[in-house]
């Protein structure tokens, strides 16, 4: 048994994660967040640690294709799941269409939120293509298609990702264009 103090333990557990297509076998303290494992153990620093309490979206990654806040998820819970970070979007030297659209539409200033915005945008487009309605969808009884992805829909679907520089019009324009390319 590990050392205990004030009800905590220092025991490590084994975990296997598939990050950006590569399996990683790690030892992790059970309460370590996915964000800390990505940044500290795997040195994937594109995923940003900002608020560290699930309020800003800078730490957004995809787990099995779904958006999650890595600061609010325990690494030990991600066994054998496919995790995609900002570093995993580019393929064979080609940027993901969302990455290209952010550059084309100047969807960033300071860049701190950009990786979370881009990863969240990729997830959001996937959700829209799968037909998932949002709180902004006018009629949830009707089938939702990518052509229904209006600026209002994008703003609603991306509302969990904050930008301190207020680049929202450029981010929405980038995602609007990228949705038609992916």
For 160, phi and psi rounded to 5 degrees? -85, 0
Q: pLDDT value at position 8?
A: 56
Q: pLDDT value at position 1?
A: 41
pTM, two decimal places: 0.92
Per-position pLDDT tens, the chain of length 182: 444 444 556 799 999 999 999 999 999 999 999 999 999 999 999 999 999 999 999 999 999 999 999 999 999 999 889 999 999 999 999 999 999 999 999 999 999 999 999 999 999 999 999 999 999 999 999 999 999 999 999 999 999 999 999 999 999 999 999 999 88
Element (H, E) at 180: helix 168-181
Reference 118, options 129, 104, 102, 130; nearest CA is 102
What domains does the chain contain, in order, with CATH numbers?
12-88 (3.10.20.30), 97-181 (1.10.150.120)
């Amino acid at each position: 048994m590990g050392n205990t103090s004030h009800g905590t333990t220092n025991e490590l557990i084994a975990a296997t994660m598939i990050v950006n297509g590569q399996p990683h076998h790690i030892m992790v303290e059970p309460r370590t967040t996915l964000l800390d494992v990505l940044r500290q153990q795997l040195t994937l620093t594109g995923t940003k640690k900002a608020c560290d309490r699930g309020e800003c979206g800078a730490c957004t990654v995809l787990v099995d294709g779904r958006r999650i806040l890595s600061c609010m998820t325990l690494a030990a819970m991600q066994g054998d799941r496919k995790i995609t970070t900002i570093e995993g979007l580019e393929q064979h030297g080609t940027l993901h269409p969302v990455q290209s659209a952010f550059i084309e539409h100047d969807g960033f200033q300071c860049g701190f939120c950009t990786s979370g915005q881009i990863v969240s945008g990729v997830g959001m487009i996937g959700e829209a293509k799968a037909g998932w309605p949002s709180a902004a969808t006018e009629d949830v009884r009707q089938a939702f298609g990518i052509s229904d992805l209006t600026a209002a829909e994008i703003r609603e679907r991306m509302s969990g990702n904050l930008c301190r520089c207020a680049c929202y019009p450029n981010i929405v324009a980038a995602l609007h264009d990228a949705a038609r390319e992916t």
